[in-house]
């Protein structure tokens, strides 16, 4: 099997209702309607847990972070992941690192690997906990307002709806544990649910991912 070194994580699963975390994470508000999602892909909406204005909220956001200063939302498809070791210094992520951290509920993630040397075929693999329990990735989020198409739009009819606002997120990655290392040189950062409050705290400058034992199975994705 060939070790894969492309972007990661590019697909994940969320088939368990994230409101199971309501008590342990003290979720105050939920605006997300749960539907089992065996595969969540970039640019799709997914449940995200944020802490804002003194409340912890579970809400849908689009996967692929769009920096608030960007003029082109297409950049989001390139910012689905952020390296946890350098995100605090990168222009696209550093403000979110300080002010807009989040948790992304999941029960597994996918990675692909070549079946054999010289083959163009890849086999997807699904990584999950042995009991298929819910966990959370560490992430960052942004609120992006689409800029006016032209100057005239700035003075549009006051009854006209304002430019749409998109809330987007990225998943932080780290070095792989022993289970993922044969497949990829990165893996998503998994946060200890019992210590999630530390990740939301701006004073937490160092991210300590949980090294959970993962099981891996071949997956069939359409």
Beta strands in 64-107 (DSSP E): 81-83, 101-106
- Which of 9, 14, 142, 167 is labelled catalytic? 9
How many other C-beta atoms can be found within 10 angstroms of the C-beta atom of residue 193?
16
128 φ/ψ sector (left φ>0, alpha ψ -120 to 50, else beta): beta
d(CA 121, CA 184): 16
Q: Give yes or no: 111 in active site.
A: yes
Q: Which residue has the tokens 């309607």?
A: 33
DSSP at 78 = G
d(CA 99, CA 44): 23
d(CA 119, CA 27): 47
- Which of 14, 111, 142, 167 is labelled catalytic? 111
The size of the chain, in residues, is 222
d(CA 41, CA 43): 7
d(CA 124, CA 213): 19
Q: Are 19 and 30 in contact (CB under 8 A)?
A: yes
Q: Which residues are catalytic?
A: 9, 111
């Amino acid at each position: 099997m060939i070790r894969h070194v492309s972007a990661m994580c590019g697909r994940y699963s969320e088939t368990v209702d994230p409101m199971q975390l309501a008590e342990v994470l003290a979720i105050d508000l939920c605006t997300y309607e749960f539907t089992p999602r065996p595969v969540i892909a970039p640019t799709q909406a997914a449940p995200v847990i944020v802490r804002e204005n003194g409340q912890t909220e579970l809400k849908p956001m689009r996967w692929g972070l769009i920096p608030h200063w960007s003029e082109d939302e297409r950049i989001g498809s390139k910012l689905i992941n952020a390296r946890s070791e350098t995100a605090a210094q990168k222009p696209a992520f550093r403000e979110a690192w300080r002010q807009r951290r989040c948790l992304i509920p999941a029960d597994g993630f996918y990675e692909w690997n070549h079946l054999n040397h010289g083959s163009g075929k890849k086999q997807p693999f699904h990584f999950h906990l042995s009991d298929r329990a819910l966990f959370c990735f560490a992430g960052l989020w942004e609120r992006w307002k689409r800029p006016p198409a032209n100057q005239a739009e700035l003075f549009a009819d006051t009854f006209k709806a304002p430019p749409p606002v998109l809330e987007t997120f990225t998943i932080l990655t780290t070095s792989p544990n022993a289970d993922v290392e044969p497949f990829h040189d990165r893996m998503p950062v998994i946060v200890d649910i019992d210590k999630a409050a530390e990740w939301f705290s701006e004073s937490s400058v160092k991210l300590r991912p949980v090294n959970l034992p993962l099981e891996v199975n071949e997956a069939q994705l359409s």
